[in-house]
Amino acid sequence: MIDKILTSTASEAVRFLFNVPIDPSLLAVQRTIPAFRNQGDFSMVVFPLLKISRKSPEETATMIGNEILANMPEAESFGVVKGYLNIRIKPEYWMQFLSENQNKLSYGITETASGNPVVVEYSSPNTNKPLHLGHVRNNLLGYSVSQLLKANGKNVVKVNLVNDRGIHICKSMLAWKLSGKDETPLSTGKKGDKLVGDYYVLFDKLYKAEIQDLMASGKTKDEAEAASVLMAQAREMLLKWEARDEDTLKLWNMMNGWVYDGFDVTYKRLGVNFDKIYYESQTYLLGKEIIEEGLKSGILFRKEDNSVWIDLTTEGLDEKLLLRSDGTSVYMTQDLGTAQLRANDFTPDSLVYVVGNEQNYHFEVLKHILFKLGRPWAEHIYHLSYGMVELPEGKMKSREGTVVDADDLMDEMISTARSMTKELGKIEDFDSEEAQKLYWIVGMGALKYFILKVDPKKNMLFNPSESIDFNGNTGPFIQYTYARIKSVLRKAEAELKVDTDFVVDGFHAKESDLIHSLYEFPAVVKQAAEALSPAVMANYLFELAKEYNTFYHELTILKEEDEAKKASRLAISSLAAIVIKNGMQMLGIEVPERM
């Protein structure tokens, strides 16, 4: 790429002029800021070089600029503003760039390399409730990060860890057993995950009512909780499950089956998928074996109540429970087993866990335990910690049933897209099937973009009404820009091939801005993947869409009389469409060919 050629040439210029080799990163070559673009395409700051040159910033920049012009054929001219050296690249270079890439559908995408994969875990649902808005952010982040890594040539394996066992699962099972009256998804017409989730909420209501009754009889809150019959029955059910009690397993398999069927429907609508699914019911036993190994080696210890712990105080942490006194496992137990299974299955270059920031401590502990147990691959574990999604009215609470259901949310987004699209008159010549497809593309694009444009590490406030706007920083705005470009290209197709050769004397400022933004796309793909941040890509696409619309409104394209200029502007448009489509696909978002 031309910026790398410029960096190399400038580094060699410094070595030649001042007889000192330098680290090329000192030059910090980057796109020229808008205020200096009349002088060049790229800028570098020379202040870090003044100790070497022992000259003024202006003189240092001028000397390096002259040396670059003498040794870099692509450089046309330079300008100096105080300590900034601005280099202009010849129009011929940009013509060649457009000519080579205007129809390159894989522009910005690196072919997948062989080798050990990056394993990305996301979703990680519990089988006691349907997927909700928090899961939506998790799934969209995980899927998009996987797409970005793939676009950088990484061999990626997308995995899901289903939390299908534990006391919370037993709560739903017990509530159904006590109050279900043999209800099924078929008999109720409900998705299986929603039906099971209803019983999880019911357990909480029954449990709270029981606690209130016990407290009314004179017990303290702690005494009431300790005396709860319902909670005791749930714990007993968990013990029976771990003992492989036939009736308990039968009920567990039936209700989990309902949930999996419901999850599959939601995942398909959301547009995410997995290469492999792990189940905690199958990994916790390996976790127990690892814990036994740690006990034998003396790394772990058993307390008087028979519970198993690890002491991490020397690492600045604390003691961590790994097995309860009754022998049942905790989250860490199965995470140890799951990590080991993935290491066995894939020998991965890295293990990326997409999990909310409330689990930061958990993953720090997981890595330390694995290190202590002699698993050197633990250093390749990375926790992609993301912020919580909140609503205008506050946090969601699953057990109280105050969550935004993922299916309901998608329905609302598609319905809103339908209303907005009809109101704006964008489907006047669409048949019914095409219109329904457009509503889905726009609604889901709005949802995904609204969530992914936020830095993953930040908490976010989700307001559906702000996400569908054809003029703001939204998915529909970018989708509409893509459809506009495709309309231009279709109209041009009859009279001029998009890949027609062209030679122009130079580019209009708006053309140059857009060409530079398109040129940066491969670097943005790399940056977004390295940061594991779809927000980097999302916000780049928004800025690109804005630049294209400015270009579209200020310059003629189809009516341009100069055939070479017309051809160059169509080439710019063609590459812009490719970039938007590829970038949006990395976010898991479809773009409509027309709207």
pLDDT in tens, 482-500: 999 999 999 998 555 555 5
* Mean pLDDT score, 187-194: 95
Q: Where in the chain is the domain with CATH 1.10.730.10?
A: 406-586
Q: For 268-304, how does the pLDDT look when each residue is reduced to its tens digit (9 = 90+)?
A: 999 999 999 999 998 888 999 999 999 999 999 999 9
Arch. (CATH architecture) of 406-586: Orthogonal Bundle (1.10)
The mean pLDDT value for 421-429 works out to 75
State residue 426's pLDDT score.
67
Query: What are the pLDDT digits (tens) for 157-190?
Result: 999 999 998 888 999 999 999 998 899 999 999 9
- What pLDDT is stored for residue 500 in this prediction? 58
Residue 328 has pLDDT above 60, yes or no: yes
pLDDT given for residue 402 in this prediction:
56
Residue 205 has pLDDT above 80, yes or no: yes
Amino acid, single-letter form, for residue 60? T
* Burial 283-306, CB ≥16 within 10 A → b, else e: bbebbbebbeebeeeeebeeeeee
Q: Where in the chain is the domain with CATH 3.40.50.620?
A: 122-390
> If you search the block for the tokens 């100790």, which residue do you land on?
51
Q: Tell me the pLDDT band of 505, cut-offs 50, 70 and 90.
A: confident
Residue 593 to residues 323, 578, 580: CA-CA distances in angstroms?
A: 55, 12, 12
Tell which CATH architecture fits domain 122-390: 3-Layer(aba) Sandwich (3.40)
Question: Residue 399: its pLDDT value, please?
Answer: 45
**CA 79 to CA 429: how far, in whole Å?**
52
Q: Check pLDDT > 60 for residue 397.
A: no
Residue 516 has pLDDT above 90, yes or no: yes
What pLDDT score was predicted for residue 221?
A: 94
Alpha-carbon distances of 515 from 51, 136, 527, 579, rounded to whole Å: 36, 35, 19, 11
The Cβ-side half-sphere exposure at 125, using a 13 Å CA radius, reads 26
Homologous superfamily in CATH for domain 2-89: Arginyl tRNA synthetase N-terminal domain (3.30.1360.70)
